[in-house]
Amino acid sequence: MTKSDDWPRVVSLEAGTAMVVADLHGDWDTYSRYRDRFLALHARGQADYLIFTGDLIHGQGEPYRDRSLDILLDILALRPTLGERLIYLLGNHELPHIYGIILQKGERVFTPPFEAALGEHRAAVTSLFDSLPFYVRTRSGIAITHAGAAAEMSPPGAAARVFNYSHRRTLDEAAGALPQEERPSLRTAFGELSGEDYDTMAHTYLAVSGPDDPRYDDLLVGFLVSTLPDFVLLWGALFTRNEQQYGEPNYAIFLDALLRDLSAGFHRQEVLVTGHIPCRDGFALIARRQLRLTSGAQARPLRAARYLRFDVEKPVQHAGELLPHLESVFT
User: Is it the case that residue 32 has pLDDT exceeding 90?
Assistant: yes
Q: What single DSSP character describes residue 159?
A: H
Residue 179: asked if its preceding bond is cis (omega within 30°), the reply is: no
Tell me the average pLDDT across 20-32.
Answer: 96
Tell me the average pLDDT across 181-194.
Answer: 95
**Confidence at residue 65, expressed as pLDDT on a 0 to 100 scale:** 77
User: Is it the case that residue 1 has pLDDT exceeding 70?
Assistant: no
Measured CA distances, 234 to 138, 148, 151, 206, 297 (Å)? 22, 12, 11, 22, 26
For 260-286, how does the pLDDT look when each residue is reduced to its tens digit (9 = 90+)? 999 999 999 999 999 999 998 899 999
Longest dimension (CA), the chain: 61
Tell me the average pLDDT across 153-180.
Answer: 96
SS3 state at 74: helix
SS3 state at 26: coil
Q: How does residue 27 score in pLDDT terms, banded at 50, 70 and 90?
A: very high
User: Is it the case that residue 6 has pLDDT exceeding 70?
Assistant: no
**Confidence at residue 212, expressed as pLDDT on a 0 to 100 scale:** 95
Domains and CATH numbers, the chain: 9-167+229-327 (3.60.21.10)
DSSP calls for 228-262: SHHHHHHHHHHH--THHHH-HHHHHHHHHHHHHHH
Q: How does residue 3 score in pLDDT terms, banded at 50, 70 and 90?
A: low
Task: State how far the Cα of 86 lies from the Cα of 149, in Å rounded to an integer.
Answer: 24
**Confidence at residue 269, expressed as pLDDT on a 0 to 100 scale:** 98
Task: State how far the Cα of 222 lies from the Cα of 174, in Å rounded to an integer.
Answer: 8
For 214-233, how does the pLDDT look when each residue is reduced to its tens digit (9 = 90+)? 999 999 999 999 999 999 99
User: Is it the case that residue 243 has pLDDT exceeding 90?
Assistant: yes
CA atoms within 13 A on the CB side of 61: 12
- Threshold 0.85, pTM exceeds: yes
For 89-119, how does the pLDDT look when each residue is reduced to its tens digit (9 = 90+)? 999 999 999 999 999 988 889 999 999 999 9
Task: State how far the Cα of 83 lies from the Cα of 108, in Å rounded to an integer.
Answer: 35
